[in-house]
Chain A
Amino acid sequence: MSTAASARAADLRAGDAKAAPLGAPKTAAGKVAVWADERTGIAKGASVMLKKVFPDHWSFMLGEVAMYSMIICLLTGVFLTFWFVPSMGEVAYQGSYLPLKGITMSEAYSSTLAISFDVRGGLLIRQIHHWAALMFVVSLSVHMFRVFFTGAFRKPREINWVIGTILSMLALIEGFAGYSLPDDLLSGTGIRAAEGFMRSIPIVGSWVSYIVFGGAFPGEAIIPRLYSVHILLLPAILVGLFAAHLILVMVHKHTQYPGPGRTENNVVGFPLMPVYTAKAGGFFFLVFGLLTLISALVTINPIWAYGPYDPSPVTAGSQPDWYMGFADGALRLLPGALEFEIFGFTLSLNVFLGAILLIPVMYTITGAYPFIERWVTGDNREHHLLDRPRNAPTRTALGVAAITAYIILFLAAGNDIMAIRLQMSINDITEALRVLFFVAPVLAFWVTKRICLSLQRHDRDTVLHGRESGTLVRTAEGKYYEVHEDLDPYTRWKLVSFESPAPIAIGSGKDANGVSSKAAKKERRRAKLSRFYFKDRVEPVTPAELAAAHHHGEHEAIEAPSAAPQAVKRAKQD
């Protein structure tokens, strides 16, 4: 340091004046900032961070809701650990809930009752914790939908999509571990079911169950083990992955919807400081306030009504929390005929497929989607401008089909509730859902794709002919026509600034010498998929078409020509 200082001093010539040193900070905050910067060098990083620009849109705040719900879960969870006793030791209940007085139960259940009835504010905090957990999974799912339908997972954000997918899957397991802890009749039934799922794993099932439960069900180990998983292991992984998720958002910069002035090379919005620190900070308190309001008004998981867990009783209406519902639904839909004996061993595929295999398979497909789409389109460019869902009809339709299949499974988990509430036969509901699981996604795909294409055509129409104003004009000759108002260039840009890639030509599966090769066959498969994606398409209006439309007059229909190929921006095909 001293050498550098003396070297700098030597650089000064006679008469040179040293730059006047910045005045000492005058405000208290300034003093703290300087103190901190002198010791950590934080100013440089903070300056970059605080100047980060984010675009403004309500759908970008869905992920924020998930983040805040998670933070609320962490805060309230700490409170709950002060009183919860993660033990399966038996006690006779002596708390203030009379209908259970003197009943033998585990310490876990007894302490949860104490939190609900005897700890000041305990029930409210418990309900905030549980509602926030449900909200966490709801909002991260909807955030995922937003990212999927707008194509925000494309290069360079594939890794972040995969991290998000893993976060989403871990959230389910974290939730399951959490609602199993009170050891009430409902959650105990859930653990019993989980034990059955483990046993359905071919060959190793019973060993897995013995390892997890430390012996035969229920044993005395499962609640303490789930507790470690719920408060230590999974939160650590969740928070770590979440930090990586956020850092990558900073690294990639936020995506933005297309609009005037917005390009692949900029972000139009406001800086973190002061706009988003205020907005996002305020939003945290709004989310916290709303969740507290819900928790103060609406019961969630009234464990006192369920009674302590006992392996003999099972209650009607046993369901998991909503995010595990689809797996439960799959279990309810799978026909019993899938269980059979092979070499004297029972293979319970009717359980295994829905309860064990479904979750990893579903999340693997989800996580792999960006790579599949990239392979089909061959698009290797970076994308920072989002797609409007209608402008990617096949992707949107695939997404809706997947959500439809998920909803069918989700509904199946409530087949008994539907049967009593809608006075229908549970058998008929189950049969109908079995059929719908295969039929509904196909229908949803087709309907969604058609709707997207129609919307695109409508956009095209609006650009070419302007907006119908509803004003009818009669000319001097007695001719009537409706005045179409021209779009302003800003609105028009939104409607024309998208890409509509053409499908790749399907080859013969043979290479240049007419010999069928693996590579050529792979290329043929890719071309077929590309055709599936882009066969039906509506191209954006080109300037030439627009000029022609204006030239013809406002109300003459112009057939959308598939000509003007020079204007079609194609995705890179090779």
Chain B
Amino acid sequence: MNALAARRRHPAAIALLLVLGLALVGAAYSLFAPKPAQAAATAVSADAINEGRQLFLSNCASCHGLSAEGTKSGPTLIGVGAASVDFQVGTGRMPLSAPNVQAPRGERVMYDEKQIAAMAAYVASLAPGPAIPDEKVSSGEGGDAALGGELFRVNCAMCHNVSGAGGALTRGKYAPPVQGVEGKYIVEAMLTGPQSMPVFDDKNINEEGKASIVNYLKTFESQPNVGGMNLGNLGPVSEGLFIWIFGLALMIGTAFWLGQKAA
């Protein structure tokens, strides 16, 4: 006690007291302050927007224009929202590897999550647009697989195939396979309508419906192939090829073998 009292006029005492006080106040504030909303946690700083802008200028602006206003080679990104950026860049569709009728899903994603988030933040800052969907929807948890299946057959199967194997559109365009695609990207595609796809906003298919579709696709993927090899889920075309190539070869091979047997 004496030792402490003897040093109370020490020049460092004030600084130490200040640090202690600040720490206490800070700790108390963190205890009693209202919990920040989820959105606030992902709310982006001006720094992120700035970083996103830099990335945009050096990687995207040549096609989408210096202020994302669009050029002959690329559409405007004003108002497409964060979901669009997250979908296009997160699946490797952007940056476009080569001009074509449609951006194919990339084999490699060019940016890390932080960079994608920064670009998404920048694009979202230009004008309001669909935000990156909630984990609740994109995980498909709580969705109803049977309802999702029905919604999928009515809304999605005509292009993406009933088992999600994908399908052809006109002039080389296509609906890509949705098997094995992350729930987040499926919901983002519905929200933003990339390429030839129509938009399915929450008025067409509400959040519960979207979660159900994701849930259905995940359930469908996790089903064991009860019938054996699925031949790419392409339907009767691959079945016909199989029976002509393998079935017929087996039968002729057997007939030939039996013909060689001495009578």
**What residues make up the interface of A, taking CB atoms closer than 8 Å to B?**
56-59, 61-62, 64-65, 98-103, 116-117, 123, 127, 131, 134-135, 138-139, 142, 185-186, 270, 275, 279, 282-283, 286-287, 290-291, 294-302, 305-307, 310, 312-323, 325, 413-417, 419-420, 423-428
Contact = CB atoms under 8 A, between A and B. Distances in A.
Contacts of A423: 172
Nearest to B155: A313
A294 B254 CA distance: 14
Given A286-B258, A316-B159, A317-B235, A102 B146 contact: yes
Contacts of B84: none
A301 B162 CA distance: 12
Interface string B158-170: 1111110111111
Nearest to B159: A316
B153 interface: yes
B111 interface: no
28 contacts: A61-B255, A62-B251, A64-B255, A98-B219, A123-B227, A131-B243, A138-B248, A139-B251, A186-B235, A275-B263, A283-B254, A296-B228, A297-B229, A298-B242, A299-B226, A299-B227, A302-B163, A305-B233, A316-B157, A316-B160, A317-B162, A417-B168, A417-B238, A419-B172, A425-B101, A425-B172, A427-B170, A427-B171
Contacts of A103: 146, 149-150
A99 B223 CA distance: 9
A135 B219 contact: no
Given A123-B226, A298-B231, A319 B236 contact: yes
A424 B227 CA distance: 31
A294 B246 contact: yes
Interface in B213-232: 216, 219-220, 223, 225-231
Q: Is the interface of B mostly helix, strand, loop or mixed?
A: helix
A417 B166 CA distance: 9
A283 B254 CA distance: 8
Contacts of A287: 251, 254
A263 B250 CA distance: 33
Contacts of B161: 315-317
Given A56-B259, A131-B247, A413-B237, 16 more contacts: A56-B263, A59-B255, A98-B219, A131-B243, A134-B239, A135-B251, A275-B263, A294-B247, A297-B229, A307-B149, A316-B157, A317-B161, A317-B162, A321-B239, A417-B234, A420-B167
B72 interface: no
A137 B219 CA distance: 36
A419 B227 contact: no
Contacts of A318: 235
Contacts of A186: 162, 235-236
Contact of B153 (A58, A117, A315): A315
B162 A424 contact: no
A319 B237 contact: yes
B158 to A, nearest CB: 5
A540 to B, nearest CB: 27
A426 B174 CA distance: 10
Contacts of B244: 138, 322
Contacts of B149: 99-100, 103, 307
Contacts of B234: 317, 417
Interface of A is mostly: helix
Contacts of A283: 254-255, 258
Contacts of B246: 294
B243 A138 contact: yes
A325 B240 contact: yes
Contact of B174 (A64, A282, A419): A419
A425 to B, nearest CB: 4
Given A290-B254, A310-B153, A322 B236 contact: yes
Given A99-B146, A270-B263, A427-B171, A138 B247 contact: yes
Contacts of B227: 116, 123, 127, 298-300, 302
B226 A116 contact: yes
A52 B256 CA distance: 22
Given A56-B259, A138-B248, A310-B153, A302 B230 contact: yes
Contacts of A300: 227, 239
A99 B219 contact: yes
B127 interface: no
Nearest to A297: B228
A134 to B, nearest CB: 4
A332 B232 CA distance: 23
B175 interface: yes
Contact of A65 (B241, B251, B263): B251
A61 B256 CA distance: 9
A99 B216 contact: yes
A98 B145 contact: yes
Contacts of A123: 226-227
A99 B248 contact: no
B244 to A, nearest CB: 6
Contacts of A296: 228
Contact of B250 (A290, A321, A419, A420): A290
A518 B255 CA distance: 51
Given A286-B254, A307-B153, A315-B158, A99 B220 contact: yes
A297 B242 CA distance: 12
Contacts of A62: 251-252, 255
A291 B246 CA distance: 11
Contacts of B175: 316
B214 to A, nearest CB: 13
A101 B166 CA distance: 25
B195 to A, nearest CB: 14
B154 interface: yes
Interface string B84-125: 000000000000000001000000000000000000000000
Given A99-B146, A283-B255, A419-B174, A302 B233 contact: yes
A357 to B, nearest CB: 23
B230 A306 contact: no
B9 interface: no
A417 to B, nearest CB: 5
B7 interface: no
A358 to B, nearest CB: 18
A279 B247 contact: no
B261 interface: yes
Given A134-B243, A322-B236, A299 B170 contact: no
A426 B171 contact: yes
A282 B261 CA distance: 12
Nearest to A135: B247
B59 to A, nearest CB: 26
B168 A419 contact: yes
Contact of B228 (A57, A138, A290, A298): A298
A321 to B, nearest CB: 5
Contacts of B252: 58, 62
Contacts of B167: 315-317, 416, 420
Nearest to A319: B236
A117 B223 CA distance: 12
Interface in B144-196: 145-146, 149-150, 153-154, 157-163, 165-172, 174-175
B251 A290 contact: yes
